[in-house]
Amino acid sequence: MFTIIGERINTTLKKVQAAVAERDAAYITDDVKKQDAAGATYIDVNAGARIGHEEADMRWLIDVVQSATKLPLCLDSPDPNILEMAYGLVGSKPMINSISLEKDRFAPMMRYLAGKECRIIALCMDDSGMPKSAEDIISRARQLVAELEKAGFKRDDIFIDPLIQPMSVDIRNGSMAMDAVAGIVAEVPGVHITGGLSNISYGLPQRRIINRCFLAMMVAHGFDSAIMDPLDKDLMALTTTADMLKGNDNFCMKYIKAVRAGKVVA
């Protein structure tokens, strides 16, 4: 099943930041319920934008979000202390976003993850910076999986993020991501692959059509999760269709159900 990490509860978004600052629970609740109804698998919760307020904001958001949905949460913070606090507040197995190979992040996160019952997003980033080739991404993915397996994580709980980079920066970034996904599937089978889908279209016009086309191409290479907007109906329809065409939908039943529900419309 394609895993959809709903990206909308993030205080870098102006409306969400305003709602959090004003403790407008109705706004957050409405958005979460819409993401749930649209087919999200996880609700990402990121409270990092208001400097000095992240702990209080995260506590408040988790309470509001969990009152609005039974979906599991993706706890999103670079700070292990915030994640530790947030982990203690969730009612079901969460996803943690994220760990990387950067020295200042890797060791604290590995200490934090010890003994945790969770899924983990693992970024293909190290101290040399953003990857410059598919081989860089695949190599970092192998290292991350090896270390996480040593810590007791099963591959089914590991989500590799190949760090999708904008086409506006380098025209090779799309093919690099696709080649990396195919390589990860071949070399470390059993892990999942996710990422911020909309990164690919940054700086370009008509971003939604780029995101949709790119998603279909990534699914064909083995991408089986995305951090994305579940309220983009056309993107969600494409996700259901691409996953079916990849062979991940027995008897096409999820696709047929989506068509009957009016979620996939020609």
| Helical axes 134-150 vs 103-113, angle rounded to 10° | 30
Domain membership of residue 247 (yes or no) is: no
Nearest-10 Cα torsion for 6, 89, 87, 74:
0
Cβ 122 vs Cβ 148: under 8 Å? yes
225-254 tens-digit pLDDT = 999 999 999 999 999 999 999 999 999 999
* Residue 266: predicted pLDDT: 81
182 in the same domain as 164? yes
Domain membership of residue 248 (yes or no) is: no
Question: What CATH number does the domain containing 149 carry?
Answer: 3.20.20.20
99 in the same domain as 185? yes
Domain membership of residue 124 (yes or no) is: yes
Domain membership of residue 125 (yes or no) is: yes
What is the count of structural domains for the chain? 2
- Among residues 249, 159, 178, 186, the alpha carbon closest in space to that of 219 is found at 178
Q: Which domain holds residue 3?
A: 1-86
**Cα–Cα distance for residue pair 191/250, rounded to 1 Å:** 20
Alpha carbon of 4 to those of 41, 42, 162, 193, 218: distances in Å? 5, 6, 16, 11, 14
- Among residues 123, 127, 129, the alpha carbon closest in space to that of 145 is found at 123
78 in the same domain as 98? no
Residues 6+ apart with CB under 8 A from 29: 64, 67, 68
Alpha carbon of 113 to those of 54, 98, 158, 190, 202: distances in Å? 20, 10, 12, 20, 32
**Cα–Cα distance for residue pair 134/262, rounded to 1 Å:** 38
145 in the same domain as 66? no
Final residue belonging to a domain, choices 86, 115, 133:
86
98 in the same domain as 217? yes
- Written as one letter, the residue type at 86 is A
Domain membership of residue 266 (yes or no) is: no
Q: Are strands 225-228 and 3-10 parallel, antiparallel or unpaired?
A: parallel
Domain membership of residue 123 (yes or no) is: yes
* Residue 215: predicted pLDDT: 97
Alpha carbon of 149 to those of 63, 134, 195: distances in Å? 32, 22, 21
219 in the same domain as 97? yes
173 in the same domain as 69? no
203 in the same domain as 159? yes
Domain membership of residue 142 (yes or no) is: yes
- Among residues 224, 223, 235, 243, the alpha carbon closest in space to that of 263 is found at 235
Domain membership of residue 258 (yes or no) is: no
Q: Low-confidence residues of the chain, pLDDT below 50?
A: none
75-123 tens-digit pLDDT = 999 999 999 999 999 999 999 999 999 999 999 999 999 999 999 999 9
- Written as one letter, the residue type at 215 is L
Claim: this prediction has a pTM higher than 0.95: yes
Residue 160 bridge partners (DSSP) = 122, 193
Alpha carbon of 153 to those of 25, 40, 89, 138, 143: distances in Å? 35, 24, 21, 19, 13
Final residue belonging to a domain, choices 55, 86, 117:
86
73 in the same domain as 29? yes
Alpha carbon of 174 to those of 40, 78, 179: distances in Å? 25, 26, 9
126 in the same domain as 201? yes
138 in the same domain as 41? no
125 in the same domain as 22? no
